[in-house]
Amino acid sequence: MKLCIYGMGGLGKEVFDIALRANKVNSYWDEIFFIVDDLDSQKETYELPIPMMNILNGGSHADNSIDFQEFMVMPVGASSFSHALQMGTEIFHCLKSELKNNGYSTNVGDEGGFAPNLSSNTEAIEVVLKSIKSAGYIAGKDVYIAIDAAASEFYNKKENVYHLHQSTGEKLSPNEMVDYWQNWTNQYPIISIEDGLDEDDWDAWKKLTDKVGDKIQLVGDDLFVTNVNRLQKGIDEAKKFTTVFEELALKQTIKKERKILNFDKKKR
């Protein structure tokens, strides 16, 4: 099982900002680097991961007609991290031009992606694909799409449906939501889906993993929420989650992160 630490987005960035204002940056980051190094202290060299670059926002991060929180690009064809950053930047600016030329706002959402009032989730992913092409890259070869759906935000627990209330108004059962994601991964060059289902919809998560887990990365952020008990449940019941995604949040201590990292290390 792969463990990723994401410490500079969302609340994680607030941790850094607060530390900066308190002149405690070094103490925070020394600890974080120590924890990361402790996971694999035998390695002599390290590789930077392929960046997941947030360029289009919806859901609770934007006041528009897109249900899914983040549409990201992953420059898998880049020769280096700096090259990947360049590719992502070029796509970002091509997206800005694409939106502007079609009369959409180029204001940004809470996490830095554009937040245009597009008509649907489909239009959102289509405009990202156009921007990849405009930047001179091939979607599905040079660049793939990653999505953070934040499905818990549009899941109606009382009715047990996923209500796409910001776009089409559809109400999908858990099985239909799983089929939705399967259809999208067949139709579009998607390489990663984060929080594609509600944080407590374990049965649907297992079904989604069975259907697309060998094809794409499935990320359980809200699902595991830096919680040893939930992580253990995922190991016991799902077995096949491809990534555990732990985000450093404002109220989470470094000691708690160490406990999670050590727990996962023992299970690998």
CB atoms within 10 A of CB 169: 8
User: How does DSSP classify residue 237?
Assistant: I
Positive or negative: CA dihedral 128, 134, 140, 141: negative
Task: State the pLDDT at residue 249.
Answer: 42
Q: pLDDT, tens digit, for every residue of 146-186?
A: 999 999 999 999 999 999 999 999 999 999 999 999 999 99
CA 265, 152, 171: angle at the middle one, nearest 5? 140
Number of H helices, E strands in the chain: 9, 10
Average pLDDT in the chain: 79
Contacts of 138 (CB under 8 A, 6+ apart): 77, 132
Provide the percentage of residues in the chain whose pLDDT is more than 70.
Answer: 70
Q: pLDDT, tens digit, for every residue of 95-123?
A: 999 999 999 999 887 778 999 999 899 99
CB atoms within 10 A of CB 60: 14
Q: pLDDT, tens digit, for every residue of 45-79?
A: 667 889 999 999 999 877 889 999 999 999 999 99
Compute the distance between CA of residue 145 and CA of residue 56 in angstroms, rounded to an integer: 11
